[in-house]
Amino acid sequence: MATAAQIKKGYIDFVLTHDEKPKSVYSFVKKLKLTEADFYAFYASFESIEKMIWFELTVETIDEIQKQELWQQYSSREKMLSFFYSYVELLKSHRSFVIYSLKSHGKRLSTPEVLSGAKPIFENFAEQLINEGLESGELAERKYFSKRYKDALWVQYAFILNFWITDDSAGFEKTDEAIEKGIQVTFDLFQRSPIDNLFEYGKFLAQNGKLKEKMGF
């Protein structure tokens, strides 16, 4: 009986051995002693296998961290840190595949196709954390901008992932630093800052300046 897991395993094995994807679905399933119908019952293409793997890794991480005892005590900032630490830990056991998958898609500015399944999951998760943070007052509500917070976190996601695949420090300690510092800075920016106060003061002056004119002073 063909299963999705069997196909996935076979595919990972193939790309890691050959450093490229199989020439065709036909040749690939033949090696696994499956039919093409078996393959298409689960996946539409090779890309969709990769997409699925990324999707699963991301979902697994989010499920995993929410089970941690400390999760409830964490602030939004800490929850996001926790996600990334657990994520790179999980990815470690799939490092070869991760490197293959990201590198084979080259350096393009847009999100690689293989991450298109993981992205909404991550963004959804990020949005949840942001909303929690906005509600508790941990993060600053800003017109237009607070809707974009999750984009900043997606940029961090991409940065951390890229950092990790080229990290050669022992135990990927540099990645830990990149996460700690990057997420802290990002969340510092989400917090209420002197810029907010300055902006509001400017607004106040502009409004009250006009008021003066109207009153003829």
Dist. CA 68–CA 45, nearest whole Å = 36
Q: Please give the DSSP secondary-structure letter assigned to residue 173.
A: H
- Which residues touch 94 (CB under 8 Å, ≥6 apart)? 53, 57
CB of 88 to another protein, least distance (A): 9
Q: Does 94 bind another protein (CB under 8 A)?
A: no
Question: Quick one: which of 13, 113, 177, 196 contacts another protein (CB under 8 A)?
Answer: 177
Residue 32, token pair as written in the block: 């696994």
Q: Considering only 19-27, 80-88, 151-159, 196-204, which stretch makes contact with another protein by CB under 8 A? A: 80-88
- Tell me if 204 sits within 8 A of 151, measured CB to CB: no
Dist. CA 91–CA 179, nearest whole Å = 15
Q: Please give the DSSP secondary-structure letter assigned to residue 170.
A: G
CB of 202 to another protein, least distance (A): 22
Dist. CA 191–CA 130, nearest whole Å = 11
Q: Does 200 bind another protein (CB under 8 A)?
A: no
Site for another protein in 102-161 (CB under 8 A): none
- Which residues touch 127 (CB under 8 Å, ≥6 apart)? 150
Q: Does 51 bind another protein (CB under 8 A)?
A: no
Question: Quick one: which of 19, 188, 196, 200 contacts another protein (CB under 8 A)?
Answer: 188
Question: Quick one: which of 13, 60, 135, 173 contacts another protein (CB under 8 A)?
Answer: 173
Residue 12, token pair as written in the block: 């990972």
Q: Does 89 bind another protein (CB under 8 A)?
A: yes
Question: Quick one: which of 47, 78, 123, 138 contacts another protein (CB under 8 A)?
Answer: 78
- Tell me if 96 sits within 8 A of 32, measured CB to CB: no
Site for another protein in 58-77 (CB under 8 A): 68-70, 73-74, 77
**List of residues contacting another protein (CB under 8 A):** 68-70, 73-74, 77-79, 81-82, 85, 89, 169, 171, 173-174, 176-177, 179-181, 184-185, 188
